Structure 1
Amino acid sequence: MPILNNIIRHCQRKFKSLSGIPLQYTAESVVKKQWAMRDNIRRDKHPLGGELMVNLTSYPPRFPTLHLTLQSLLLQDTQADKLILWLYKADYDQLPPEVLGLVQHGLSIELVEQDIKSYKKLIPALQRYPRAYHVTADDDIYYRPDWLAELLAGYRGNEREVVCLRAHYITLDDSGNIQPYRYWQAKTEQRGPDNRLFFTSGAGALFPPGALHPDVTLNKKFLQYSPHGDDIWLYWMATLNKCIIHRTGHNKKLIVWKQSKNITLWQLNKQPDSGNDFQINNMLKAYGQPEIKQTN
């Protein structure tokens, strides 16, 4: 049965990957066309009881295509209260006119004093706007117009709840211990609620106010234990705070701008002395294993 399930999962992933290929080649032209027609697009108000913010960060190598991602986020069918680009202040002067021009269309740019890498997409937001509902995004992805609506549709109204559109499923060994990252079920079809769902924040994740453990904003700790793995840190902060985690939506293929692909972080996360397993082991030593149960 496990072998059959693996085959089924592989086929599902392959089908979704193949079905997304046409959009991979047309996404840029789609954004440009939609942006030209933006005044004719009807946008719905979000259903949450507080302020909703979509957050992302970026850095100069990604700036050439950043405006495409930002435009796709501004074109969402469901409108957030704020779209914030969190930027290290030394990088601001390198922003291209295509990005700066989006400020008049709803983009907010907030500068931070310390370059905490990928953590900039959420940590400063939690610090400055602790009572908001925060959604995370990445700077190199095309977000379909229904992306935010699809994410919000999965929210069940709990304070300690994380909703995601994409997740890996953590596997356990016979003793119930977390197995190495390479053995996890990548891009799982599991929906949960299940706190073995390891959400990938760049694909889209919703964090209600107070959902994460108070340690989440302690720069010294996350830079020590998981300096290159913000998703690892955020997962532990969610499970420590006894959050419900579940995946929603249709697990659509991520459309990444080819010009912005960066292999450096991918290579770094494979290294034995700095990669995912190294950082996971750091978290296990610092905070212990989350209370997770092995299910069939």
Structure 2
Amino acid sequence: MKLKELPGSLWTAWKLKRLPKKQLVSPQQPRIPVIVSLTSIPSRLDTLHLVIRSLLAQTHLAEKILLWLHKDLESKIPSSLTMLVSDIFEIHYVDMTCSHRKLVHSLTLYPEKIIVTCDDDLMYNPSWLQRLYKDHLIYPDRIIAHECRMIAYNNQGALLNYDQWKTQIEPGVSSPWMMPIGYGGVLYPPGVLHPDVTRADLYLALAPRADDLWFKAMSYLNGTITQRSQQPGQKPTPIAGSQKVSLKHTNVRENGNYEQWQAICDHYQIQGR
């Protein structure tokens, strides 16, 4: 977290903490026919309620919010989180520990539903979900994401380092080579991913620390286009103290994303542009 983000983070957290549960899940809230799905790790349990509160405080509420945790955490959930459990927000416990569980379990449980993934260390703007869904209604067969990068190759078709995959600034752009970035939120319509998406033996071997890359490969193999939303809005607000443990170090700074994408491409014989 950048120092300049701290005041906004503390202010947003303070506002969310003040919202009573009755107000967070109101019968008057408009509903959107999607499942919001996420996962988390032990070091973020104490701040995770802020993420869930931001998802419950949306202008348009999801049908369900599913949190996937390792079964060892079942007795360690803080009351700040359990008090939010309802017919909307559910906590599920599984054996898996990798970040891919944010999507794969929900795909299995709700194969015919639209699933939106998000991260566990951010607070989301109240219109976040509605803006994703609005674009889905226009482009129902595409994956919609607020934040994206373009996978980059040189003129000879060789993969470039991850730091050369340009962040997409222009709203509404689309490409088969566009990679959704999970922290901004990603909407997956049913049937847009290759059947291998839930094969743990493959994603743990090829991309064990890069769920974004795995899901991108599964959409590419299925011929699905990714589109940046037409109204990305402001970036989600980081939660103070929640990002001490992160995959960013190995995946970005140590070029782990390059290595894992190359492994996926080698396995599936995906050719560069």
TM, length-normalised to structure 1: 0.83
Code of the residue aligned with 2:263 in structure 1: it is N
Match of 1:122 among 96, 99, 103: 103
Q: 1:129 to 1:36 in 2, by over 3 A?
A: closer
User: In the alignment, is the contact (CA less than 8 A) between 1:169 and 1:188 conserved in 2?
Assistant: no
SS in 2 for 1:185: coil
Aligned runs of 1:1-296 on 2, under 5 Å? Answer: 23-35=8-20, 38=23, 42-46=28-32, 51-104=33-86, 106-115=88-97, 117-156=98-137, 160-189=141-170, 191-248=172-229, 249-270=231-252, 275-289=256-270, 292=273
Q: Distance in 2 between matches of 1:177 and 1:260?
A: 36
Letter in 1 for 2:189: P
Q: 1:73 to 1:40 in 2, by over 3 A?
A: closer
Q: What percentage of aligned pairs have identical amino acids? A: 29
Whether the aligned pair in 1 keeps the contact of 2:157 and 2:271 (CA below 8 Å) is no
Uncovered stretches (5+) of structure 1, i.e. residues with no partner: 1-16
Does the 8 Å contact 2:69/2:94 carry over to 1?
Answer: yes
Per-residue deviation, residues 226-265 of structure 1 (Å, max 9, x unmatched): 0000000000001110112101123522311121113442
Aligned length: 270
Q: Go from structure 1 to structure 2 and tell me whether the alpha carbon gap of 1:156 and 1:179 turns closer, same or farther (over 3 Å shift).
A: farther
Match of 1:29, SS state, is helix
Q: Which moved more, 1:246-255 or 1:57-66?
A: 246-255
TM-score, normalization by structure 2: 0.89
In 1, Cα distance between the equivalents of 2:271 and 2:196? 15
8 Å CA contact 2:35–2:116 kept in 1: the answer is yes
**Contact 1:168 1:188 (C-alpha < 8 Å) held by counterparts:** no
Quote how far apart the aligned CAs of 1:290 are.
5.8
CA distance in 2, matches of 1:212, 1:131: 12
Q: CA RMSD in A?
A: 2.5
Measured at CA, do residues 78 and 198 of structure 1 come closer, stay the same or move farther in structure 2, by a change above 3 Å?
same
